[in-house]
Amino acid sequence: MLRWITGLISVLLFAVTAGCGGSDDDPKNVVQVAQSDSRFSILVEAVQAAGLTNTLAAPGPATVFAPTNDAFAALLGELGVTREQLLANKPLLTAVLQYHVVAGQISSSGVPLSKAVNSVGGGFFKVDKVGSGLVITDGRNRTSKIVQADIAASNGVIHAIDKVLLPANKNVVQTAVATPDFSILVEAVTAAGLGETLSGPGPYTVFAPTNAAFASLLTELGLTKEQLLANKPLLTKVLTYHVVPGLVLKGGVPINSPIKTVEGETFTVSPALAILDQRGRQSNIVATDVLASNGVIHALDKVILPAP
């Protein structure tokens, strides 16, 4: 895979530095296509600035989600850097460019919707159909629209996008910490000593109860928050029941089939995205696909419970 990645980038960079070569009738590779389209001039410049010209060539195929010049201009404002500073940051450029490339040729009609799409440089993003268009959610939960799909190239296909994608920079715990409505969940994870585990490589799928869900649980169990947080065995059992090993985005959730948790017991999810726990209680998934570097979070309106 590493040789394939470096080879692909080599194809891109060789075309940039060698002036593309060949006749006008020759099929163009992805960079030659980008070079011939003024919307992608900054992308071509960024690929060249990554300095990977000596890597080995490989034929692909590859799918490239190609940011337009306007997308790069918006990124500069978002990051608070100049174009020169961005192009001089080789580690960032390499990571970002590889994040836009997917192995294989994937047409717009073949994009797996609401499932993880793995990039050749590591990390994943997802694509959803919104109206008649396709919208990408990157690892930092930013969205980008595909503004032109299925631009053919000799070694793959290009989809033009209106925002530069960025890989995740927070794990599931850090993502929860940054979300105010998960503050009690974060307290519970800390009290149970699970923070380090959930910060590991995973991947994990976390069904995350909101603060209101925890407040409702306290009433149901007749406990104070302090009593719940002090009961580490109960807390650990309940929290691990909310974690599923592996990466399960909305489009990949098994419907009406037992889903095994890290705790060891199962729950089921209905077509309406309602969870039935081991005590016959129902919780609704109220938000899906909050992406993180080591997994994904789905928000719940009720804490689910394993068998007594």
Query: Which domains does the chain show, CATH number per domain?
Result: 2-161 (2.30.180.10), 172-300 (2.30.180.10)
Kindly report the CA angle at 253 between 289 and 202, in degrees rounded to 5? 65
Predicted confidence at residue 26, as pLDDT, reads 66
Predicted confidence at residue 22, as pLDDT, reads 41
* Secondary structure letter of residue 17 according to DSSP: H
Instruction: Say what the alpha-carbon torsion angle 142, 290, 133, 112 is, to the nearest 10 degrees.
Output: 120
Rounded to two decimals, what is the model's pTM?
0.86
CA distance linking residue 27 with residue 150, whole number of Å: 15
- Print pLDDT tens along the chain (308 aa): 444 444 444 433 333 333 344 445 567 888 789 889 999 999 999 988 875 322 223 477 989 999 999 999 999 999 999 999 999 999 999 999 999 999 999 999 999 999 999 998 889 999 999 999 999 999 999 999 999 999 999 889 999 999 999 999 999 999 999 999 999 999 999 999 999 999 999 999 999 999 999 999 999 999 999 999 999 999 999 999 999 999 999 999 999 999 999 999 999 999 999 999 999 999 999 999 999 999 999 999 999 999 99
